Amino acid sequence: MPHVAALLQEVRIYLRLQEHDNDLAAKARTAGCPCGGKLHSARYRRKPRGVAAGIGDGYGRRWSFCCAKEGCRRRVTPPSVRFLGRKVYVGAVVVVLAALRQTASAVRLASVRKYIGVSWRTVRRWAAWWRESFASSRFWKAAQGLLAPPAPAAATLPAALISVFRGDEEARLISTLRFVAPITTASANGGAGL
């Protein structure tokens, strides 16, 4: 887990996550509106915190679409691996710091926390969110069945969830963010997000 924290300093991981979001957006746009209408871009600005220096302004644009059909105008916002719901810090930071709170020494967590610029109180809130809100969500109750038994216990989230996936630290972090992406939007799955 300590090596995962080093990823937060690399522009490369954020660019890979942006590519995944672009793919999710392309699939949503191709699928079109549930009414059959064509979707037009209606991206909106986010002010993401915690991204590596030099990532650029475009990273803060959240994909979203609006139906072009008169009378519908429904908004379709695809899932995201960059943004974890309405949290202001990017998803990778929320996952990694909440996991480090469980697995790393206080000194290591403090150095990563200081680098990102996030308070202890915020990290504690994220850890509680994983244990309480996420663990009791409809998404998690349904998604646990997709994981090799036994699924991680609520008290071990998100560190145990990251360890479920295979590959190096970067691959496991991306897999975790892809796995939880459905919770990042209500329109992606009929409101099953948090």
Give the per-residue pLDDT at 104.
87
Tell me the mean pLDDT in the region 104-124.
Answer: 91
> What digits encode the pLDDT tens for the residues 130-143?
999 999 999 999 99
pLDDT band at residue 3 under the 50/70/90 scheme: low
pLDDT of 189 above 80 = no
SS3 at position 4: helix
CA 4 to centroid of chain Cα atoms: 15
For the chain, the residue count is: 194
> Could you tell me the two tokens for 152?
């991680």
Give the per-residue pLDDT at 5.
76
Lowest mean pLDDT among 4-8, 44-48, 84-88: 4-8
Give the per-residue pLDDT at 89.
96
Residue closest to 98 by CA, chosen among 169, 170, 155: 155
Please name the amino acid found at residue 11: V
Pairing of β 65-67 and β 39-41: antiparallel
Q: Which residue has the tokens 């899932």?
A: 79
pLDDT band at residue 151 under the 50/70/90 scheme: confident
Give the per-residue pLDDT at 116.
92
Burial class (CB within 10 angstroms; exposed 0-12, middle 13-18, buried 19+) of 114? exposed
Q: Which residue has the tokens 């069945």?
A: 145
> What digits encode the pLDDT tens for the residues 59-111?
999 999 999 999 998 999 999 999 998 889 999 999 999 999 998 888 888 88
> Could you tell me the two tokens for 74?
């429904």
Q: What span, in angstroms and rounded, lies between the C-alpha atoms of 79 and 26? A: 11
